[in-house]
């Protein structure tokens, strides 16, 4: 805890202030920070490899199919610059990514989660293993539980993390297989006209931003409404639907639908474990000067 207390005591405050300022200007930044912690930390290590741009030699994780819809990376740079002005070369992008997620969760009405710091930045993209490690919305619940289990996140933890689908939106690209050629009978028929209206094309143009809000009731608030929705068959993604119907996960879904406190407690625990997945510490990795680029090393040609 408080890794920067000697080297950059204001670090966490500066990040928090930037997250708040950005949220005032662009509400969707908070969704991005929450999604980032999943896309970075679930892939082998919480090392900000997600943020690296492509180079001649390696593809960026941001360019992979699984990163579809990820955005607002330039505002991570805004936060990094504010921290660098105060303490150049001290605070890692990995810590900025994790703490911005923590503060974004608060912006969305979620719990404040005390998190450790001291992660260091990886030097290479992990694009080649994204599919192997990152749970996917079309996978079986068994596969999703296994992938999270490998990070030490148990079943209630997984159920709680999926509660992040209580905010933000799902792009039509990820939904149309449940609507065309025929509507998935598992969907609540009351919810279908809205989905068809929002996603009128069976093959949506990925460039056209067509989407359905994950939670029509409180789309900007991280709350337990998601669990009530999925029990009512209003889950948008296959994984949302399965979560409410699989006998391993359903008891926790019901418990979280009843108790926001229980949801927040399990969510906080799971985010903590995700944020501590295999970090680079000590002399491993580096402290990037800019979050989208690994530092130049003299030995690099």
pLDDT at 299 over 70: no
Inform me whether the pLDDT recorded for 297 exceeds 80.
Answer: no
Cα separation, 224 vs 6, whole angstroms: 39
Range 26-32 contact pairs with CB under 8 angstroms and sequence separation of 24 or more: 26/72, 26/75, 27/220, 28/71, 28/72, 28/168, 29/72, 29/75, 29/104, 30/104, 30/105, 30/107, 30/108, 30/167, 31/104, 31/108, 31/167, 31/168, 32/70, 32/71, 32/72, 32/75, 32/104
- Alpha-carbon 99 to chain mean position: 12
What does the pLDDT read at residue 298? 53
Q: Which residues are annotated as a binding site for heme b?
A: 165
pLDDT range class, residue 90, cuts 50, 70, 90? very high
User: What residue numbers does the annotated binding site for Ca(2+) cover?
Assistant: 40, 43, 47, 49, 61, 215, 218, 223
What pLDDT band is residue 78 in, cutting at 50, 70 and 90?
very high
102-121 residue pLDDT tens? 999 999 999 999 999 999 99
**The predicted structure's pLDDT at residue 209:** 81
Of 76, 33, 74, 64, whose CA–CA distance to 134 is shortest? 64
Fold of 141-271: Peroxidase; domain 2 (1.10.420)
Rounded to whole angstroms, the Cα distance separating 94 from 99 reads 9
10-36, pLDDT tens digit by residue?
999 999 999 999 999 999 999 999 999
Which band of pLDDT confidence, cut at 50, 70 and 90, is reported for residue 300? very low
Mean pLDDT for the chain? 95
Known binding residues for substrate are 135
How many C-alpha atoms does 160 have within 13 Å on its Cβ side?
24
> CATH classification of 10-133, choosing from 3.30.300.350, 2.40.50.100, 1.10.520.10, 3.40.1160.10?
1.10.520.10
- Alpha helix locations (H) across the chain? 11-25, 28-41, 73-86, 93-107, 130-133, 141-149, 155-161, 192-198, 225-231, 238-245, 250-258, 260-275
| Mean pLDDT to the nearest integer, 54-68 | 93
The set of catalytic residues is: 39
User: Tens of pLDDT along 206-265?
Assistant: 788 899 999 999 999 999 999 999 999 999 999 999 999 999 999 999 999 999 999 999
Residues of the chain above pLDDT 70, percent: 99
What is the 8-class DSSP label of residue 127?
G
Q: What is the mean pLDDT of residues 190-209?
A: 91
Q: Where are the domains of the chain?
A: 10-133, 141-271
List the binding residues.
40, 43, 47, 49, 61, 135, 165, 215, 218, 223
């Amino acid at each position: 805890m408080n890794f920067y207390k000697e080297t950059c005591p204001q670090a966490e405050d500066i990040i928090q202030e930037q997250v708040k300022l950005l949220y005032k200007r662009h509400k969707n930044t908070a969704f991005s920070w929450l999604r980032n912690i999943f896309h970075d930390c679930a892939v082998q290590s919480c090392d900000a490899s997600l943020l690296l741009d492509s180079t001649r030699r390696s593809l960026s994780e941001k360019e992979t199919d699984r990163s579809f819809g990820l955005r607002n990376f330039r505002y991570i740079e805004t936060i990094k610059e504010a921290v660098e002005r105060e303490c150049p070369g001290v605070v890692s992008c990995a810590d900025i990514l994790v703490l911005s997620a923590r503060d974004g969760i608060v912006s969305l009405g979620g719990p404040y989660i005390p998190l450790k710091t001291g992660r260091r930045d990886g030097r290479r993209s992990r694009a080649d293993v994204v599919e192997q490690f990152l749970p996917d919305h079309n996978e079986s619940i068994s596969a999703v539980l296994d992938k999270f289990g490998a990070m030490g996140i148990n079943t209630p933890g997984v159920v709680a993390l999926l509660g992040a689908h209580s905010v933000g939106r799902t792009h039509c690209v990820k939904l149309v297989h449940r609507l065309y050629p025929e509507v998935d009978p598992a969907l609540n028929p009351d919810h279908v006209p809205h989905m068809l209206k929002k996603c009128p094309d069976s093959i949506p143009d990925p460039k056209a931003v067509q989407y359905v809000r994950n939670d029509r009731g409180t789309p900007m608030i991280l709350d337990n409404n998601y669990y009530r929705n999925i029990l009512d068959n209003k889950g948008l993604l296959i994984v949302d639907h399965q979560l409410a119907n699989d006998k391993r996960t359903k008891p926790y879904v019901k418990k979280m639908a009843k108790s926001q406190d229980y949801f927040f407690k399990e969510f906080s625990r799971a985010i903590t474990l995700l944020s501590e997945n295999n970090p680079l510490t000590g002399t491993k990795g580096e402290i990037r000067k800019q979050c989208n680029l690994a530092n130049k090393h003299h030995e690099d040609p």
